[in-house]
């Protein structure tokens, strides 16, 4: 399958072939299937974030014992790993400089 250029903004969970505003936080080259997989990861990240938001209103449950926060952390790490693997050299350097994958194998 042919790889195409996509602009990624993980904060807004945006994937686009058209560069506009600040959607170009990262640049990747991916197949349609890879973009669908990344979209799935971003959707899972959003779901975990929503669960964590509601859980945050239950003060008796500490952060470190919260499955929804762990899910979010895992999903964002998976998304960063995938963006790193599909990213151009600038994207890879940016993610390396962030140190977000330093505890994990790249």
Q: 20: burial class by Cβ within 10 Å (0-12, 13-18, 19+)? A: exposed
In a domain, 106, yes or no: no
In a domain, 103, yes or no: no
| H-state helical runs in the chain | 32-55, 67-86, 89-98
DSSP state, residue 64: G
Tally of structural domains, the chain: 1
Question: Would 51 be classed as within a structural domain?
Answer: yes
Averaged pLDDT of the chain: 83
- Domain membership flag for residue 70: yes
Check: pTM over 0.75? Answer yes or no. Answer: yes
- Name the residue with higher pLDDT: 64 or 50: 50
Segments forming the whole domain that contains residue 25: 4-98
pLDDT tens, position by position, 67-78: 666 777 888 899
Q: Using one digit for the tens of pLDDT, what is the confidence trace for 50-60? A: 666 655 556 66
Query: Does some domain include residue 58?
Result: yes
Residue 104 in any domain: the answer is no
Has residue 105 been placed in a domain? no
């Amino acid at each position: 399958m042919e790889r195409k250029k996509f602009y990624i903004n993980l904060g807004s969970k945006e994937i686009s072939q058209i560069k506009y505003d600040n959607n170009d936080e990262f640049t990747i080259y991916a197949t349609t299937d890879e973009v669908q997989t990344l979209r799935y990861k971003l959707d899972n990240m959003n779901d975990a974030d929503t669960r964590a938001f509601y859980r945050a209103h239950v003060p008796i449950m500490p952060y470190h014992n919260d499955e929804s926060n762990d899910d979010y952390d895992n999903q964002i790490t998976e998304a960063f790993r995938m963006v790193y693997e599909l990213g151009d050299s600038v994207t890879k350097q940016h993610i390396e400089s962030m140190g977000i994958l330093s505890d994990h194998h790249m």
